[in-house]
């Protein structure tokens, strides 16, 4: 998602732009009628902590958050145990 992507861009992007995007995102997802769609690539190791932090603050019970796992074909064998419960939805709303 954009929140994580902006952390990894080149130095051409000003900190002001990064802060503006984070503020806009936070202001939008704070609204109680907003449905949050969080895309989480399966080929990364917890690099999406920023979006998790935002979601945990604005929707702690995950009542209006939908997680979309992308790139499941890139799950490495040694991390199957981490992803399998998420894919089977066995771990409840606090798992992500």
At residue 44, the pLDDT reads 73
Comparing C-alpha atoms, which of 86, 91, 81, 88 is closest to residue 38? 86
Q: What is the pLDDT along the chain (96 residues), one digit of tens a residue?
A: 565 555 555 566 677 888 888 889 889 999 999 999 988 888 876 656 677 888 889 999 889 998 888 888 888 888 888 777 777 765 555 555
Nearest to residue 41, comparing CAs of 80, 6, 73? 73
pLDDT at 32: 94
Classify residue 39 as exposed, middle or buried by CB count within 10 Å of its CB (0-12, 13-18, 19+): middle
Q: How far apart are CA 22 and CA 16, in angstroms?
A: 10
Q: What is the pLDDT of residue 11?
A: 61
Q: Please, are residues 41 and 12 in contact by the beta-carbon 8 Å criterion?
A: no
For residue 91, the surrounding DSSP H or E stretch is none
pLDDT of residue 90: 54
Would you say 75 and 83 are in contact if contact means Cβ atoms under 8 Å apart? yes
């Amino acid at each position: 998602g954009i929140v994580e992507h902006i952390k990894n861009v080149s130095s051409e992007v000003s900190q002001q732009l990064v802060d503006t995007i984070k503020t806009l995102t936070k202001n939008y997802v704070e609204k109680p009628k907003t449905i949050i769609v969080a895309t989480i690539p399966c080929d990364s190791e917890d690099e999406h902590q920023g979006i998790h932090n935002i979601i945990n603050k604005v929707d702690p019970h995950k009542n209006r958050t939908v997680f979309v796992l992308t790139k499941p074909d890139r799950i490495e064998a040694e991390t199957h145990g981490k992803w399998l419960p998420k894919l089977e939805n066995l771990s409840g709303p606090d798992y992500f």
